[in-house]
Every structure is written in C-alpha cells, then in structure tokens.
Amino acid sequence: MKKIITSKNAPAPIGPYSHGVLINNMLFVSGQVGKNPHTGELILGNIKSETKQVMENIKGILTDAEMDFTHIVKTTIFLADMNDFASVNEVYGSYFTGDYPARETVQVSKLPLGVNVEISIIAVK
C-alpha cells in the first residue's frame, strides 16, 4: 500500500515529486531545503539557520506520517561546500538522542534554489 504524504509544515515541492511516500511501514522523504513553509522565504546566509529549517521541514513531514526522528534509519546530506560539514553536523545531531541513523554526506556542485544544504531521509515505523 502506497500513501502520499503532503505536509503544510514543509515547503511546497518545486517539481513533480511528493514530500514523502509511505509504503507499509517505510517512509521515503524527498530532499528538503531551508525554505520556510509558511512564508516561502529561503533561509540563506547562515548555514546553521538553514540546516535548522531543513530539519524542521523534515520534522513536519515525519509528524504528518505519525513518526518522529527516532524512526529515521537513513539520511543523505548534500552540501554545496564541505567546509560547512561541522556546522551542519552540529545542528543535524541536535535532533537525535542516540541510535543515530546511517548516513552519508556529499559535496555537490549545485543544489536547487541556490541553497547550501539538502537532506533526504528514510524512516521506518
């Protein structure tokens, strides 16, 4: 059974994709960027603030799927600049209390909307 998850607590998709897809007990969440879902404002200029908005967008989608950060088993972090790794890691890590998910972090040449960080996740209920 496939269920599309759409959240008012995450920015509207900028292309033909869903916030998340729930299949049985697995949630696949599309990459989230630092865009405020209520104002449409991109949070740029401060990587910690941008990462916090990304994580809040993920939180909104998880909540709408009746999950939370303890359900995340895998994340992928895309960075425009690997020099931001420590700052992103600090904010990202504050959303978990242990039993961290598997993860990779990669630097890419460019991200949508000119953002500095994008994060996607897989969660299991």
Mean pLDDT of the chain: 96
E-strand ranges in the chain read 2-5, 20-23, 26-32, 72-79, 102-107, 117-124
Residue-wise pLDDT tens digits, 76-85: 999 999 999 9
pLDDT 10s per residue in the chain (125 long)?
899 999 999 999 989 999 999 999 999 999 999 999 999 999 998 999 999 999 999 999 999 999 999 999 999 999 999 999 999 999 999 999 989 999 999 999 999 999 999 999 999 99
Q: Place domain 2-124 in its CATH homologous superfamily.
A: RutC-like (3.30.1330.40)
Q: Tell me the CA distances in angstroms from 49 to 3, 13, 38, 104, 121, one per residue in order.
A: 31, 20, 16, 21, 19
